[in-house]
Amino acid sequence: MGIPYGHKNAILNTDGCRRSAVDEAVRLIQKCSEVNLNLIILWKAYVIEDNKQLILEGQHHVSLDVIGAECLSFPQKQEPPEMTLLKFTRSENVIAPVRPSTEQLSNLIKTSLHYPESFSHPFHHKSLCLVPVTLLLSNSSRAEVDVIIDLRHKTTSPEALEIHGSFSWLGQTQYKLQLRSHQVFSLQLKACFVHTGIYNLGTPRVFAKLANQVTLYEANQQSSMPALIVINDI
């Protein structure tokens, strides 16, 4: 059996009244938690600074709208001080400037010799045999380097004479030059021989130093192997 029309409207009105009553109750409960307070909080703190105990005091202004909610005071604008005190500190350990080691200074210049492995010469027609040799110098640093090339044999001992024989360098015996950063320089030399044999051309001594220094350092050769050349007769 159906519900009369008038009864349906009565039920709907009753439900609407119930929902309105519940909403009103919830709103009243929420209003109980609402406040409009401006709190002034006075505080005092004990701090230790530079082995001295200090007492700091201050206050914060806090606006509270709802009980139980987290609230913060507004940050105050800090005015920059008109004058600040300078604090001078003295370092106990003075760090000395790092200087290049002897090994590093010995590697300022890289050297290499370029020459034929063997050379034939008619000694019965011409007693002096001249062989072109190229000494390649490379500045491996970023600074200017002063270089001295000494072509005189380091020793005149009998053992050295057995290795070098009558071999000698033709022309001047010493060169001075300056190489820029990472510059490669080619020096043309002539080796002089008076008879056949096997000779070691690795006798040039190369000394180098930074342009702003005084001490010279002998350059390490790129290879410890001797620079051998075979002189033949035709």
Q: pLDDT (tens digit, 9 = 90+) per residue, 211-224?
A: 878 788 888 765 55
Split into its structural domains, the chain has a count of 2
pLDDT digits (tens, 9 = 90+) for 135-165: 999 998 888 999 999 998 765 455 544 554 5
Do 59 and 132 share a domain, yes or no?
Answer: no
Do 171 and 57 share a domain, yes or no?
Answer: no
- For the segment 97-109, the average pLDDT, to the nearest whole number, is 73
Average pLDDT taken over every residue of the chain:
78
Do 58 and 164 share a domain, yes or no?
Answer: no
The answer to whether 207 and 150 have CB atoms below 8 angstroms apart is: yes
pLDDT: is 65 or 183 the higher one? 183
Burial of 105 per CB tally in 10 Å (0-12, 13-18, 19+): buried
pTM of the model: 0.53
Any domain includes 70: yes
Residue 175's pLDDT band (boundaries 50, 70, 90)? very high
- For the segment 75-96, the average pLDDT, to the nearest whole number, is 64
Do 45 and 154 share a domain, yes or no?
Answer: no
pLDDT higher than 70, residue 181: yes
Do 41 and 117 share a domain, yes or no?
Answer: no
pLDDT: is 72 or 56 the higher one? 56
Question: What's the rounded Cα separation, in Å, for the pair 173 and 189?
Answer: 10
Do 113 and 224 share a domain, yes or no?
Answer: yes
Do 61 and 136 share a domain, yes or no?
Answer: no
Residue 7's pLDDT band (boundaries 50, 70, 90)? low
Cβ contacts of residue 204 below 8 Å, gap of 6+? 111, 113, 135, 149, 150, 151, 169, 189
The CATH number covering residue 140 comes to 2.60.40.10
pLDDT: is 64 or 99 the higher one? 64
Any domain includes 95: no
Do 48 and 127 share a domain, yes or no?
Answer: no
Q: Which of 74, 91, 122 is the last residue of a domain?
A: 74
Do 109 and 61 share a domain, yes or no?
Answer: no
Q: For residue 60, what are the β-bridge partners?
A: 41
Do 110 and 179 share a domain, yes or no?
Answer: yes
Any domain includes 170: yes
- Domain containing 177 equals 102-233
Any domain includes 215: yes
Residue 11's pLDDT band (boundaries 50, 70, 90)? low
